[in-house]
């Protein structure tokens, strides 16, 4: 304790004390800043390594561009807000464990982006990706999921996040074999379910007659869509079994897996009809193979 009048209470002493105090404070500030900076410069926790391809580069710009193309240019009557749609899309998986995604995560997005399609226009498909979409692109009388906003926006893209980051994981994403509840698989499962539930009237499906099991529960069609058609709205399913042009098409509709599809539908009170090699689809096949015998005389 310093008493008034003691030798230390001179100006010189006060100056020294003040100087020491300033140095101490400065020193504390320097040490604190160094600690904070050092912490910041620490590399972020490494992202988990998955077996699947990483999130698509510039996913936001690509998805937004597709949304504005579909909902702005092609279908302005849908009155969709693409920026809100992007926000809802991102929120579904960012900073979350990519093996633990649920349909609840996508609920806000689905509510914003889903839209009804007219009756008798639904085209489902299984193992006929290229042909089904070439068909709808040219004919326009039927629509696949990829011809609706939800499918159009996400077709061919990949995305996932991780709990330790606010960024997408561009290095890798879980393959469905690593975990089934990954952002991509859940998205397509949910969008397919909604698409099937909304179908009404006559529903068409394009199946591949050139593989051993044209219908099975390993596909989204077999495991999700067929079981979510609403029998109160859908009264008939027309099946087209497509073959490679050089193959015989004789009894494609009597294949055992097609019969299985028939019994599932009839059990759900939906009528069934089947056609091997729909002419319009064969025409698309002939575009690329005009010299095939099946393409003669046209």
Partner 1 sequence: MVILSTAMGSSEERWSLTKEVWMLLWALVLRGAAAGSAGAAEYHWSGEGTNRHLESLFLGRCYEYIFLVNPDLRDKNCSAIWEAFKSVLRKSPCSVLPSDYDLFMNLSRHSIPRDKSLFWENNYYLVSAYADNTQRLMTLSDTLYGGVADLLMWCREENGTDFDYQSCPTEKDCENNAVDSFWKRLSSQFAYDSSGVIHVMLNGSEPTGAYPVKGFFADYEIPNFQKDKVTRFEIWVMHDIGGPYLESCGEGSMKILENRLKNMEYKYECINNYRSVKFLQCLDHTAHSDCVFSSAAESTQQRFLSLFGRKWDPILLVILFVSLASGIHL
Residues that bind partner 1 (CB under 8 A): 56-58, 61-66, 68-69, 72-73, 82, 134-135, 137-139, 156, 279-280, 282-284, 286-288, 290, 293-298
Is 298 a known active-site residue? no
Cβ proximity to partner 1: between 19 and 72 the closer is 72
- The distance of closest approach from Cβ of residue 188 to partner 1 in the complex, given in angstroms and rounded to an integer, is 18
Least Å from the CB of residue 66 to partner 1:
6
Q: Closest Cα to residue 206, out of 253, 232, 170, 242? A: 242
Q: Whole-angstrom Cα distance, residue 215 to residue 225?
A: 12
Quick one: which of 193, 199, 91, 110 has its CA closest to 153?
A: 110
Angstrom distance (rounded) from CA 118 to CA 97: 37
Please state, in angstroms and rounded to a whole number, the distance separating the CA atoms of residues 298 and 79.
43
Among residues 179 and 286, whose Cβ is nearest to partner 1? Answer: 286
Residue nearer to partner 1 on the CB measure, 55 or 122: 55
Kindly tell me which of 87 and 260 has the beta carbon lying closer to partner 1.
87
Min dist CB 135 to partner 1, Å, is: 8
Kindly state the DSSP code that residue 221 receives in the 8-state scheme.
I
Write down the catalytic residue from 67, 82, 160, 200: 200
DSSP 114-180: -----TT-BEEEES-HHHHHHHHHHH-SSB-GGGSHHHHHHTT-----BTTBSS--SSEE--TTT-S
Min dist. Cβ of residue 123 to partner 1 (A): 14
Q: Which of 196, 202, 260, 201 is nearest to 229 (CA)?
A: 196
Question: Which residue, 12 or 296, is less far from partner 1 as judged by CB?
Answer: 296
Least distance to partner 1, CB of residue 153, Å: 10
Q: Quote the CA–CA distance of 158 and 78 in Å, as a whole number.
A: 26
Active centre residues (catalytic) = 119, 200
């Amino acid at each position: 304790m310093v008493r008034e009048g003691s030798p230390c209470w001179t100006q010189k002493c006060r100056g020294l004390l003040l100087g020491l105090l300033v140095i101490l404070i400065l020193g504390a500030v320097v040490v604190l800043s160094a600690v904070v900076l050092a912490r910041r410069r620490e590399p972020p926790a490494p992202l988990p390594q998955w077996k699947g391809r990483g999130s698509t580069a510039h996913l936001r710009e690509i998805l937004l561009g597709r949304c504005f193309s579909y909902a702005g240019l092609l279908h302005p009557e849908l009155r969709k807000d693409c920026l809100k749609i992007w926000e809802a899309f991102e929120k579904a998986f960012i900073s979350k464990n990519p093996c633990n995604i649920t349909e609840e995560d996508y609920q806000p997005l689905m509510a914003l982006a889903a839209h009804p399609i007219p009756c008798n226009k639904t085209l489902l498909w299984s193992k006929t990706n290229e042909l089904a979409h070439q068909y709808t692109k040219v004919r326009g009388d039927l629509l696949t999921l990829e011809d609706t906003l939800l499918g159009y926006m996400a077709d061919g893209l990949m995305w996932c996040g991780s709990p330790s980051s606010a960024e997408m994981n561009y290095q890798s994403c879980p393959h469905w074999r690593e975990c089934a509840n990954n952002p991509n698989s859940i998205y397509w499962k949910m969008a397919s379910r909604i698409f099937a539930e909304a179908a009404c009237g006559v529903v068409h499906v394009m199946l591949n007659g050139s593989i051993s099991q044209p219908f099975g529960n390993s596909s989204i069609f077999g495991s999700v869509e067929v079981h979510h058609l609403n029998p109160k709205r859908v009264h008939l399913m027309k099946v087209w079994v497509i073959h490679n042009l050089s193959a015989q098409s004789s009894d494609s509709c009597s294949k055992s897996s097609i019969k299985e599809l028939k019994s599932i539908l009839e059990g759900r009170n939906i009528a069934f009809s089947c056609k091997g090699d729909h002419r319009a689809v064969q025409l698309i096949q002939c575009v690329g193979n005009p010299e095939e015998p099946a393409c003669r005389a046209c």
